[in-house]
Chain A
Amino acid sequence: MRLISCHIENFGKLHDLTMDFEDGCNVILQENGWGKSTLAAFIKVMLYGFEEEKSRDGLKNERKRYRPWQGGVYGGRLEFEAEGKRYIAARTFGTKEKEDTFSLREKDTNLESRAYSANLGEELFSLDCGSFCRTVFVSQNDCETFATDSVNAKIGNLAEDTDDINNYENVNQRFVNLLNQMSPGRKTGSLYKKKEEIVQLELSVRASGDVEHAIEEIGGRLREKLAEQQTLKEEQAQLLKKQREIGAFKDIQAKQEKYKELCREYGERKAEAEEEKKYFPGRVPDAEELEGIIALGTGLPAAQESARIYGMSEEERSRLAQLAERFRGKESVPDELREWEEKERRLGALKVTLAESSLDPKDAERLEDYNKRFAGGVPQIETLEKVISDWNGSAEKKSVLGQKKLNYETWQRVAASGADRADRRAGGGESFSGGFFLAMGTILILAGILLATVHVGAALPQPAAAAALGLLGAACLVAGVIQRRRSAARKGAEASEALQANDGLQQMQREILEEEAFIGKVDRDTRRFLAEYGIVCDRDEEILDSLYGLKSDIRDYITLSQRSRDAELAEARDSYRKLSAQIRDFLKGYYPEDPVEEAEYSRRLAELSEECSAYIRLREKNENYLKAKEALEGIQKELLEFLESILLPPQQDLQAQLLEIQRHCHSLQVCGRELENVEKRKEAFEVSEDVEKIMKIAPAGGAEDLQDINVRLEEIAERLEKILSYIADYNRQADDLREAADRAAEDFDRLTQLKEEYRLEREKYELLKRTRELLEQAKLSFTAKYTEPIRQSLAKYYELLTKDGAGSLHVDANADITVDEQGMQREPRFFSTGYRDLFGVCMRMALIDAMYPEEKPFVVLDDPFANLDAGKLAGAMEFLNRIGGEYQVLYFTCHHSRAAGAELSYAGAKPS
């Protein structure tokens, strides 16, 4: 591996510097301040990047230190050859690592290459930056070296194995740190601290024995008090029990008495019940049965009374027997008898009829006349009365008809003579007409009276004509009076009435004509009617009498006609005979031995009726008696059966006996209930109480004992109160002690745990310690294998540089040099700077020889011989010549003296 060239854009003070390198030794001989060390640093930074980036020291912080003085792009290119290929690595640097750029291209193809990364140095040299600086790269004033892990790994060909020798120092340091952290001897060590804690806990636990002792003691006292408390409580309980017993004996006594009373009452009730039971020799009737029997017995007096009432005397029995004989087989006698009594009444009526049926000769003659007269039929009385009424109506009309005619004529004249003559004619007329009517009325009444008088005297019936004249006269008088009054009333109004007279005349004319027609018709009809029965009247006055005479004749004719009907009488006689015979036969049926005369019919029938009534009454009474007797006997039978069923002999008064039974039953029930009640109470008492025990309890102590007990109980209560306070006090103390003991127990647990932890950690500590020792031994043993080749190389370079023998030089397994001096192997630090540089340069080359047996790297030497004296410079130049034959060397120096004599090629620098 060799460097071809480099180009610095800007790096520290260097700017646009291109430098080509040759094989062998390249000397960069420049005066101080040119930038040799900067160029060397540029090569290192191009390979490894910056070191000490976090340092604030401007000299140590390479990024700051080599920041371009003049600005511009910070970086450059490095062309190198490795494993037969040429590459160009280019880097630019920012203010921070992340701003840095890196690129790698193959020189031949100018294509980007992934053969190496930004970690270029480590990959090329298999060395970390530190190891690089201790071997291949010798910076100014830093020749000293030693074998780093990387160096050892490289020497042991283990550079690729990151978990082995190359990590030894880290591991060793970790072990050192860990052992220090765990160290039982250091105050900061965890084992030391645990030990301290264990000691403290042991002291604490040891002290807890006192607490346990105190707890024991307090516990003993507490137990004493608890025991005393228990004893006192037991005594208290016993005393209280006795106190209760004494107090409770009264209750017991009461119970004893109560039980005795119950027993006594029970005995009494039982005796009473048994006494009552004795009344009943047999069974005891139940209440329902008894009630039924008593209800039956209640009907006994009524039945007896009924029997007594309906009881019959001998006479009645004899009479009933006699009548029964008479009426045997004749169940319907009463109805039949009423029929025969009716028949007897009809017989009497027939007898009267027959007695009244014969006519005397006068009646027979008059009937003969009537038969002739009414041969054409007998007029109806109603018809006759109608004719009479019409005639009377006609006579009344006829009586006023003349006046009406006069009035008509008067009014006819008035109407014809006009209004001025009206006053005159009216006054005269009125007075005339009024006077006329009064005179006419008087005349007619007188004529009537006269006619009536004449008629009575002549014994002729002319009352109708007289009445008619009287009536007519009266009517005229009335009309005269009315006329007069009218004339007075109409004095002022006649003039106007005259005007209406004409209409009134016509009305009057019609009425007169109608009445004249009616009168004529009645007259004709009446005369015709009378003529039919042979009556002709010449005068009107006769007609009314004729009509009334006819009416009387008709009635007489009817009476005579009825009396004269013979056929009917014969029938009545026949009926009479038959009826009489029937009644006789009927009565003979009842009285065969005694024939009855017709005259006795009524009496005998009455007798028969009376006998029939007596028979019915007696028969009913007998029937009722039989019924009452039967009922009475039924009741008596049932009562006797009941008495027999309960084995009691009947007494005279059954009803009284039943009541007595009922009373006894009730008493027995009452006794039974009372007995049951007391028995239940007794049983309940026996169930709820231990009777045997109660009855055995004897009086427990007396009042004096009770007093003593109370005194003692008070003492005990006081003592218990004190004991409670003691117990509370001991408990508090015990609680405190227990808490302390608990803490001690926790300490003990912690101590036990801690001891175990200490033991395990100590075991681990020892094993770690042993591991470190063994690892160190292994490392030494491992590196010792390469010590000899290194020592030989070292001797070779040492002799070359010093021209002295290297026999006094020793190299240990750590690649540390010692030199025999004054009888001792001394480390280089005891030598001068020049020797120290010399030892360092030689060792570096020895290590490089060991590390790179095949492809040799380039070596950077930044004026390593500055501290050598002149005598050793020749050797140094020879050294350079020798290593230049094997390695590409970049040798930086500022002085010709340290370059003269060497077979050097000067690297060309092309400053911009």
Chain B
Amino acid sequence: MKIIHCADLHLDSKMTSNLTKEKARERKVELLNTFDRMLRYAEEQQVEAVLIAGDLFDTNHVSAAARNVVRDGIRNHREIQFYYLEGNHDGDSFLGSLEEIPDNLKLFDHSWRTYPLADGRIAVTGVELDRDNSVSIYNTLALNAECFNIVMLHGQEAEAAPKEGAETVSLRKLKNRGIDYLALGHIHTFKIGDLDGRGKYCYPGCLEGRGFDECGEHGFVLLDIDAEKGTMRHEFVPIAERRLYTLEVDVSECMTTADIADRIRQALEREKISERNMLKLVLVGEVDVECEKNTELLTKMFASEFYFLKISDETRFQVDYKAFALDESLKGEFVRLVEKAEDLSPEQKAAVVRYAIRALAGEELE
């Protein structure tokens, strides 16, 4: 039996943190399309169940488009059982808007609930965590060891015991409880590991990266379970429409924007990032305080090569105090004064020196 495990779809996410309104709108639609593609994949692969381990939606206020896509996706795939466990981002909006819960949509609440699959040889058990039950659920979990047990939870993985009321999942307390596959949600990056001698735990990550804190491949996990033998194979299936990259470019010793552009170009040639993807370039390294660098210009130079480009300047300024030691000028006097200033950190001193030098040179004070 094939089962899809996905989580943290965050449909209806605003996507405005980096993008313009137009592109944010486009990405919102792409997010819905990716969900739809996942269902088509399920149909093609004859998947019999889809586990949604929380945060199907990004907000409690679900748009009509998102609601309809999900509702119709479920209704139009009656051959697939959907197990939807609400996460911390999900609210009542979606379910409340449904006149009738489709037969193939299985829901959970705040106490353990089990649904049989494959004539009872597979059991899908889950509970929605809240402040009240996050401690007690470990005491009330009782699984039939003869079944292939899938347990669904949404929360932050925590090896230590969870604090009272926190939405964390204690892997330690779930060990040796007869779990074959712990289907988790909350962490947006794919992660799989051994829970104990019998089972595995897995975060499939989100379907689409939304910000540069969600770089890398995104998709879902396809499980192929032999219910007779109680064995399982898993496969991560990338499905994201676009991929986000964060690329650090060391621009040390560059003195001009053109120098920096050359370094960026070299880095891009090495990485070969497709133009349909989203890229965050992080400029790092130490540059001279008198270095002329214009990130706005750099952004314009490379923006057309990607769906979205953002340049973050994390360079540190380097002040060559020795060079100013004997400089009989206002600058020399100033730098010597700054060097001696005890109330400033080295970074602040560099910033102050850069401000003064740029001001004296008649340039903008960034």
Contacts and interface: CB of A to CB of B under 8 A. Distances in A.
A741 B60 contact: yes
A745 B12 CA distance: 14
Interface in B325-366: 328-331, 333-334, 336-338, 341, 343-344, 348, 351-352, 355-357, 359-362, 365
A161 B329 contact: yes
Given A156-B328, A167-B360, A730-B96, A781 B337 contact: yes
A769 B139 CA distance: 60
Nearest to A784: B333
Contacts of B92: 219, 222-223, 226, 734
A724 B338 CA distance: 72
Nearest to B359: A171
B93 A734 contact: yes
B97 interface: yes
Contacts of A635: none
A782 B329 contact: yes
Given A724-B99, A731-B97, A741-B60, A768 B355 contact: yes
A778 B330 contact: yes
B359 A175 contact: yes
Nearest to B341: A774
A741 B61 contact: yes
A226 B361 CA distance: 69
Name the residue in A171, A174, A233 with the highest tally of chain B Cβ atoms < 10 Å from its Cβ.
Answer: A171
A731 B329 contact: no
B332 to A, nearest CB: 8
B95 interface: yes
B96 A222 contact: yes
Contacts, number: 104
Contacts of B93: 731, 734-735, 738
Contacts of A506: none
B91 A738 contact: yes
A817 interface: no
A770 B344 contact: yes
Given A156-B328, A175-B359, A738-B61, A767 B96 contact: no
Interface in B293-339: 328-331, 333-334, 336-338
Interface string B72-105: 0000000000000000000111011101110000
Nearest to A158: B329
Contact of B355 (A724, A727, A738, A771): A771
A31 B27 CA distance: 85
Contacts of B100: 233
A567 B162 CA distance: 170
A742 interface: yes
A397 interface: no
A568 interface: no
A163 B357 CA distance: 8
A168 interface: yes
Nearest to B343: A770
B330 A164 contact: yes
Contacts of B348: 767, 770
A158 B365 contact: no
Contacts of A141: none
B335 to A, nearest CB: 8
Contacts of A230: 101
Contacts of B360: 163-164, 167-168, 171
Interface in A760-787: 767-768, 770-771, 774-775, 777-779, 781-782
Interface string A497-531: 00000000000000000000000000000000000
A165 B357 CA distance: 11
Contact of A779 (B96, B330, B361): B330
A775 B359 CA distance: 10
A777 B337 contact: yes
B59 interface: yes
Name the residue in A164, A739, A741, A768 with the highest tally of chain B Cβ atoms < 10 Å from its Cβ.
Answer: A164
A724 B365 CA distance: 62
Contacts of B95: 226
Interface string A207-246: 0000000010001001100100010010000000000000
Contacts of B59: 738, 742, 745
Name the residue in B97, B101, B329, B341 with the highest tally of chain A Cβ atoms < 10 Å from its Cβ.
Answer: B329
A550 to B, nearest CB: 140
A261 B91 CA distance: 59
Nearest to A166: B330
Contact of A735 (B61, B99, B351): B61
Contacts of B61: 735, 738-739, 741-742
Interface string A710-744: 00000000000000100100110011001101100
B364 to A, nearest CB: 10
Interface in A328-377: none
Name the residue in B60, B337, B348 with the highest tally of chain A Cβ atoms < 10 Å from its Cβ.
Answer: B60
Contacts of A727: 96
A694 interface: no
A387 interface: no
Nearest to B328: A156
B337 A164 contact: no
A178 interface: yes
Nearest to B329: A164
B175 to A, nearest CB: 33
Contacts of A157: 328
Contacts of A171: 356, 359-360
Contacts of B331: 163-164, 778
Nearest to B62: A738
Contacts of A735: 61, 93
A778 B348 CA distance: 17
A163 B356 contact: no
A163 B333 contact: no
B346 to A, nearest CB: 13
B96 A734 contact: yes
Nearest to B334: A778
B365 A768 contact: yes
Contact of A782 (B101, B333, B338, B359): B333
A731 B96 contact: yes
Contacts of B336: 778
Contacts of B91: 215, 219, 738
Contacts of A161: 329
Contacts of B338: 774
B78 to A, nearest CB: 17
B109 to A, nearest CB: 9
A730 B357 CA distance: 63
Name the residue in B92, B330, B331 with the highest tally of chain A Cβ atoms < 10 Å from its Cβ.
Answer: B330
A127 to B, nearest CB: 17
A123 B61 CA distance: 71
A771 B352 contact: yes
Contacts of A165: 329-330
Contacts of A738: 59-61, 91, 93
A480 B193 CA distance: 172
Contacts of B365: 174, 178, 768
A774 B61 CA distance: 53
A175 B352 CA distance: 12
Nearest to A178: B365
A737 to B, nearest CB: 9
A226 B96 CA distance: 8
Interface of A: 156-158, 161, 163-165, 167-168, 170-171, 174-175, 178, 215, 219, 222-223, 226, 230, 233, 724, 727, 730-731, 734-735, 738-739, 741-742, 745, 767-768, 770-771, 774-775, 777-779, 781-782
30 contacts: A156-B330, A158-B330, A163-B361, A164-B331, A165-B329, A165-B330, A167-B360, A167-B362, A174-B365, A215-B91, A219-B91, A219-B92, A226-B95, A226-B96, A233-B100, A727-B96, A731-B96, A738-B59, A738-B61, A741-B61, A742-B59, A767-B348, A767-B351, A767-B352, A767-B355, A774-B341, A774-B352, A775-B334, A775-B356, A781-B333
Q: Which 8 residue pairs across A and B have the least CB separation, nearest first?
A: A778-B334, A778-B333, A738-B61, A165-B330, A782-B333, A771-B355, A171-B359, A771-B352
